[in-house]
């Protein structure tokens, strides 16, 4: 063995080896197959430019796009017992929590924040689907309830961005108990006469859609979002019928009166702030809609 084999050749191989492209540099649109540059997709709020397909947006980016200037204050949420049932399937539940906490940098699936939206104070909660599918457990229930109580304390509207596969099976009945607990929080908002606005994103299913996600004063859905309780296959096997192709989509629910409106992600901020302004009887800081100087507005009195 000489210096040519041990030093020179390895350096030549590393110099001539092909540089691998990062996996997330290009992202494929699930609807059309279009390849979109990651930075372009991020700049467009994770909406595919040509097809308009709404991809999943990270929870923190959702908050940044919602609050004025991307500025908000995180609301601390209570800590809970990490693994109350000592649950284990293919791996320990405690190990799964550690894995997702390391991967996302968050303690659990719900982020709560306060800030201003078009000049109006807001409290918002976002479910992070990247954390165990946004599943509802004790920590998520505590976070949502804390967000609602914070809204009552500061007399602000409360908006929830729902994204979940349902209740967290690793916590059993303790997970299901969060459904009535969050319902009590909604009742507190109503007694305080504060608006509760729900944005249903893709997907919103299971125990979440069976509880607080469908108890809002206004239900807004993002285009193409899957919203329902049981899965499509389970329903077809139960009723022994073929379901429509667009079944459980946001557009299907809108046509059948289950949601109030379907709003594109770019328009969510202004839509929600307008609705909250109406409920709260507050004036918003919206773009100036006055006519140009060379086109004077018509005087209503003279027109009459």
- pLDDT single digits (tens) 48-100: 999 999 999 999 999 999 999 999 999 999 999 989 999 999 999 999 999 99
- On the question of pLDDT at 149 being above 80, the answer is yes
If we measure between CA atoms, which residue out of 259, 168, 159 comes closest to residue 207? 168
**∠ at Cα 122 (189, 76), nearest 5°?**
85
**Full residue range of the structural domain in which residue 211 is found:** 57-280
Overall average pLDDT of the 246-271 stretch = 97
- For residue 119, what pLDDT is reported? 93
φ, ψ (nearest 5 deg) of residue 292: -60, 165
Q: What is the pLDDT of residue 61?
A: 96
% of the chain residues with pLDDT over 70? 85
Q: Assess whether pLDDT exceeds 80 at residue 13.
A: no
Q: Give the number of C-alpha atoms closer than 13 A to the C-alpha of residue 48, restricted to the C-beta side.
A: 20
Report the alpha-carbon distance of residue 115 to residue 96 in Å, rounded: 32
Based on the structure, what is the number of domains in the chain? 1
The answer to whether residue 28 is domain-embedded is: no
Cα torsion 171, 177, 182, 187 to 10°: value is 180
Q: Which residues of 228-259 are buried (b: 16+ CB within 10 A; e: fewer)?
A: bbeeeeeeeeeeeeeeeeeebbbebbeeeebb
Average pLDDT of the residues in 129-143: 97
Residue 209 resides in a domain: yes
Q: With bands split at pLDDT 50, 70 and 90, how would you rate the model's confidence at 281?
A: confident
Q: What are the residues facing 111 on neighbouring strands? A: 126
pLDDT reading at 206 higher than 80: yes
CATH of the domain at 98: 3.90.226.10
Q: Which residue has the higher pLDDT, 2 or 212?
A: 212
Q: What is the mean pLDDT of the chain?
A: 89
Q: Which residue has the tokens 């210096």?
A: 3
* Confidence at residue 288, expressed as pLDDT on a 0 to 100 scale: 60
Asked which of 61-65, 114-118, 276-280, 295-299 is least confident by mean pLDDT, the reply is 295-299
Of 227, 134, 214, the C-alpha closest to 179 is 214
Average pLDDT over residues 123-136: 97
**What pLDDT is stored for residue 57 in this prediction?**
96
Does residue 244 form part of some domain? yes
Q: Is residue 26 part of a domain?
A: no
Domain assignment present for residue 133? The answer is: yes
State yes or no: pLDDT of 300 exceeds 50: no
Give the pLDDT confidence score for residue 63 in this predicted structure: 97
In a domain, 102, yes or no: yes
The answer to whether residue 303 is domain-embedded is: no
The answer to whether residue 298 is domain-embedded is: no
Give the SS3 label for residue 111: strand
C-alpha–C-alpha distance, residues 97 and 49, integer Å: 35
pLDDT at position 285 over 70 = no
Share of the chain above pLDDT 90, in %: 80
Residue 21 pLDDT: 47
**Predicted TM-score of the model (pTM):** 0.84
Greater confidence (4 vs 18) lies with 4
pLDDT at 25: 85
């Amino acid at each position: 063995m000489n210096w040519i084999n041990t030093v020179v050749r390895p350096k030549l191989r590393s110099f001539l080896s092909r540089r691998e492209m990062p996996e997330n540099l290009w992202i494929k649109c699930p609807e059309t197959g279009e390849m979109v540059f990651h930075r372009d997709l991020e700049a467009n709020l994770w909406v595919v430019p040509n097809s308009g397909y709404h991809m999943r947006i990270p929870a923190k980016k959702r908050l940044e796009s919602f609050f004025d200037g991307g500025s908000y204050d995180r609301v601390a949420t209570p800590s809970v017992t990490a693994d109350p049932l000592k649950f284990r399937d293919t791996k320990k539940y405690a190990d799964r929590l550690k894995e997702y906490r390391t991967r996302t940098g968050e303690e659990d699936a719900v982020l709560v924040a306060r800030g201003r939206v078009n000049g109006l104070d807001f409290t918002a909660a976002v479910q992070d689907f990247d954390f165990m599918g946004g599943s509802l457990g004790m920590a998520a229930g505590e976070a949502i309830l804390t967000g609602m109580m914070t809204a009552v304390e500061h007399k602000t509207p409360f908006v929830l961005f729902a994204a979940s596969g349902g209740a967290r099976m690793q916590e059993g009945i303790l997970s299901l108990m969060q459904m009535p607990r969050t319902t009590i929080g909604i009742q507190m908002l109503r007694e305080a006469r504060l608006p509760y606005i729900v944005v249903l994103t893709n997907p919103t299913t299971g125990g979440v859609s069976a509880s607080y996600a469908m108890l809002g004063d206004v239900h807004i859905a993002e285009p193409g979002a899957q919203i329902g309780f049981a899965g499509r296959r389970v329903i077809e096997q139960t009723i022994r019928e073929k379901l429509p192709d667009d079944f459980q989509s946001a557009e299907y629910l809108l046509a059948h009166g289950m949601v109030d409106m379907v709003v594109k992600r770019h328009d969510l901020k202004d839509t929600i702030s307008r609705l909250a302004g109406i409920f709260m009887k507050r004036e918003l800081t919206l773009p100036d809609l006055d006519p140009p100087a060379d086109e004077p507005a018509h005087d209503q009195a003279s027109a009459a």
